[in-house]
Amino acid sequence: MTERNKITSKQLGIFILTAQIGFGFLTLPAALARDVGHDGWISILAAGLISSLAIIAIVLLLQKYAGKSIFELSPRLFGKLPGKAINLFLLLYLSYSMVLSFRIFTEFITLYTLNLTPGLIVAVLIITPTAYLLQYGLKPLTRFSYFIFLILFFILVLAFLVAAKIRWTFLMPVGAAGITSLGKSLGTTFIAYIGFELVAFVYPYVVDRENTLKWVLGANLVSMAVFILVFLVTTGLFGENLLKTQLIPLFELARYYRMPFVERTDLLFVLLWFPLVESVFLTYSFAVHDGLRRVFAIKNRRLFFPFFIAAIILLSRIPTDLVQTLAAANLVTIGGIIVVGFLIFCYLFSFAKQKNR
Residues 233-252 interacting with other proteins (rule: CB under 8 A): none
Least spacing, CB of residue 166 vs other proteins, in Å: 26
By CB under 8 A, is residue 129 in contact with other proteins? yes
By CB under 8 A, is residue 7 in contact with other proteins? yes
- The residue within the footprint of other proteins, chosen from 75, 140, 218, 239 (CB under 8 A), is 140
The Cα 133–Cα 89 span in angstroms is 26
Nearest alpha-carbon partner for 94 in 189, 248, 216, 200: 200
By CB under 8 A, is residue 125 in contact with other proteins? yes
- The residue within the footprint of other proteins, chosen from 60, 79, 128, 323 (CB under 8 A), is 128
By CB under 8 A, is residue 136 in contact with other proteins? yes
Least spacing, CB of residue 347 vs other proteins, in Å: 26
Sign of the torsion formed by the C-alpha atoms of 278, 280, 282 and 288:
negative
First to last CA, the chain: 44
Nearer to other proteins, 3 or 310 (CB): 3
By CB under 8 A, is residue 8 in contact with other proteins? yes
The Cα 138–Cα 126 span in angstroms is 19
The Cα 182–Cα 160 span in angstroms is 28
* Contact yes or no for 190/183 (Cβ under 8 A): no
- The residue within the footprint of other proteins, chosen from 21, 61, 133, 280 (CB under 8 A), is 133
Least spacing, CB of residue 87 vs other proteins, in Å: 27
Binding part of the chain for other proteins, among 22-30, 81-89, 112-120, 342-350 by CB under 8 A, reads: 112-120
Torsion on CA atoms 315, 13, 84, 293, rounded to nearest 10? 60
By CB under 8 A, is residue 274 in contact with other proteins? yes
Q: How many chain residues touch other proteins (CB under 8 A)?
A: 36
By CB under 8 A, is residue 211 in contact with other proteins? no
By CB under 8 A, is residue 171 in contact with other proteins? no
Binding part of the chain for other proteins, among 96-104, 135-143, 219-227, 297-305 by CB under 8 A, reads: 135-143
By CB under 8 A, is residue 324 in contact with other proteins? no
- The residue within the footprint of other proteins, chosen from 156, 174, 207, 348 (CB under 8 A), is 207
By CB under 8 A, is residue 289 in contact with other proteins? no
Query: Site residues (CB under 8 A) for other proteins?
Result: 1-3, 6-8, 11, 109, 113-114, 117, 122, 125-126, 128-129, 132-133, 136, 139-140, 143-144, 146-147, 207-208, 261-264, 267, 271, 274-275, 278
